[in-house]
Amino acid sequence: MNDLETIVQDAQAAFSRAPGPADLENAKAAFLGKTGRMTELMKGLAALSVEEKKSRGAAINVAKQAIEAALSDRRAALARAELDAQLQSEALDVTLPGRQRGQGGLHPVSLTLERIEAIFGSMGFDVADGPEIESDWFNFTALNTPQDHPARSMHDTFYVEGGSAEAPNLLRTHTSPMQIRYAVQHVKKYKAQAAAATGSLFSGDMPEIRVIAPGRTYRVDSDATHSPMFHQCEGLWVGENVSFKDLKYVFTNFCRTFFESEDLVLRFRPSFFPFTEPSAEIDIQFQTGPLAGRWLEVAGSGQVHPNVIRNMGLEPEKYIGFAFGMGPDRLTMLRYGVNDLRLFFDGDIRFLSQFQA
Ligand code: DAH
């Protein structure tokens, strides 16, 4: 191997050992720089004859080109390696499972309210909504509740600001005020239609009132089966010929559909409410399943009291009907086998996600 071949080999080896671009430029200087080995060889040409210069010069040039080629090869290789490393470090692992946004769903009590609305809807009941801050009139007085009734006391009812001493505002203790609110609107609407209808097809007869009113209600009460905020669903059916037998039919049909059980039995147990006369507590009994044989109270009900009919703007001599008030929270507990009411209002995702379809 002659000296030129040795230098070329040394250069190739030095370049390929250079771990990065800066080391490579240093290695380059050792061969092609001002005092580099190739430069020294060129300087040595001066001492040669013209003939020798020609051949030696050509050989040096070939060697120099070989070194430059090795240099640019290594530069390219280092640049590629740098790019590869960058790509590697920024790589996305598309096989990793993504961070998912959990799928939301309806609250179990909302599922129950939807069921109640669908079932009563299929029996021709309208669905009404009303205020949670009520007046004393709608919550108590219009519902024939005497001034000294225990429900009016401070430890049962949340009173709120506004209203007067004689007629304070309060958080409704039940959905029953919706009986009055809805009926008054209904009566007003058909009186106006009747007044405008002279000579038209409208007979002036008022269509029956058939409505449910689900919503939030409030009482000063808190334990495993009572929450200061809970739900109720009111029902009202008033017409010229509506009887207790209709209540029995409608409510039995509702319970059997709601619980998907044909052999569910109902019991109407005599009770008292100021706004109904007679009044009954409705109990249900499953014949099969984990709750079989126990009587479970699900609603209060009764024939709407004549004073309440009057406060609706109707004549009790002509109109009669029934009302009921049930607890959707209780129905949800029975349907899903939940034993603590407070679970519904804790907002614990581990509990709530069990109700998603
Ligand atoms: N409002 C009653 C309560 O909260 C429930 C109730 C009983 C509603 C009888 C009614 C009814 O409509 O007729 O305890």
**Is the CB of residue 321 less than 8 Å from the CB of residue 304?**
yes
Identify the pLDDT of residue 201. 58
User: Would you say the CB of residue 300 lies under 6 angstroms from ligand 1?
Assistant: yes
Query: Atom of ligand 1 at shortest distance to CA of 235?
Result: 12
Q: Hey, is 206 helix, strand or coil? A: coil
User: Would you say the CB of residue 140 lies under 6 angstroms from ligand 1?
Assistant: no
User: Would you say the CB of residue 234 lies under 6 angstroms from ligand 1?
Assistant: yes
Q: How far is the CA of 316 from the centre of ligand 1 (A)?
A: 20
**Is the CB of residue 7 less than 8 Å from the CB of residue 67?**
yes
Q: pLDDT tens digit string along 64-80?
A: 999 999 999 999 999 99
Categorize the per-residue pLDDT at 314 as very low, low, confident or very high, splitting at 50, 70 and 90.
very high
Lowest mean pLDDT among 200-204, 312-316, 341-345, 350-354: 200-204
DSSP calls for 52-112: HHHHHHHHHHHHHHHHHHHHHHHHHHHHHHHHHHHHHHT---TTSPP-PPPPP---HHHHH
Identify which has the larger pLDDT, 321 or 92. 321
CA distances to 157, 168, 172, 228 from 154, in Å: 5, 12, 13, 13
Distance separating alpha carbons of residues 70 and 26, to the nearest angstrom: 14
Categorize the per-residue pLDDT at 204 as very low, low, confident or very high, splitting at 50, 70 and 90.
low
> Where are the extended beta strands (E) located within 168-275?
168-171, 209-218, 229-239, 265-273
**Is the CB of residue 311 less than 8 Å from the CB of residue 180?**
yes
Categorize the per-residue pLDDT at 4 as very low, low, confident or very high, splitting at 50, 70 and 90.
confident
Q: How far is the CA of 15 from the centre of ligand 1 (A)?
A: 94
Identify the pLDDT of residue 108. 97
Identify the pLDDT of residue 245. 94
The C-alpha angle with vertex 21 and arms to 15 and 23, in degrees rounded to 5, equals 60
Q: What is the DSSP letter of 223?
A: B
Q: What is the DSSP letter of 150?
A: G
User: Would you say the CB of residue 311 lies under 6 angstroms from ligand 1?
Assistant: no
User: Would you say the CB of residue 174 lies under 6 angstroms from ligand 1?
Assistant: yes
Q: How far is the CA of 345 from the centre of ligand 1 (A)?
A: 23
- HSE-CB at 124 with a 13 A cutoff on CA atoms is 7
| Cβ neighbours, 10 Å, residue 212 | 26
Categorize the per-residue pLDDT at 304 as very low, low, confident or very high, splitting at 50, 70 and 90.
very high
* Probe target for ligand 1 pocket from 181, 238, 273, with the most ligand atoms within 8 Å of CB: 273
User: Would you say the CB of residue 323 lies under 6 angstroms from ligand 1?
Assistant: yes
Distance separating alpha carbons of residues 276 and 184, to the nearest angstrom: 18
% residues pLDDT > 70 (the chain) = 97
Which residue has the CA at smallest separation from atom 4 of ligand 1? 174
φ, ψ of residue 336 to 5 degrees: the values are -105, 0
Categorize the per-residue pLDDT at 168 as very low, low, confident or very high, splitting at 50, 70 and 90.
confident
* Probe target for ligand 1 pocket from 173, 217, 301, 305, with the most ligand atoms within 8 Å of CB: 301
> Where are the extended beta strands (E) located within the chain?
126-127, 133-135, 159-163, 168-171, 209-218, 229-239, 265-273, 276-285, 296-304, 320-326
Q: How deeply is 271 buried, as exposed, middle or buried, from its count of CB atoms within 10 A (0-12, 13-18, 19+)?
A: middle
Work out the average pLDDT over 134-146. Answer: 95
Query: Atom of ligand 1 at shortest distance to CA of 302?
Result: 13
**Amino acid of residue 64:** K
Exposed e or buried b for every residue in 249-261, given b needs 16+ CB within 10 A? Answer: ebbbebbbbbbee
User: Would you say the CB of residue 217 lies under 6 angstroms from ligand 1?
Assistant: no
- Judged against a pLDDT cut of 60, whether residue 302 lies above it is answered with yes
Q: pLDDT tens digit string along 27-60?
A: 999 998 888 888 888 888 888 888 888 988 888 9
Residue with tokens 């008030």: 325
Which residue has the CA at smallest separation from atom 12 of ligand 1? 324
- HSE-CB at 92 with a 13 A cutoff on CA atoms is 3
Q: How far is the CA of 193 from the centre of ligand 1 (A)?
A: 31
User: Would you say the CB of residue 176 lies under 6 angstroms from ligand 1?
Assistant: yes
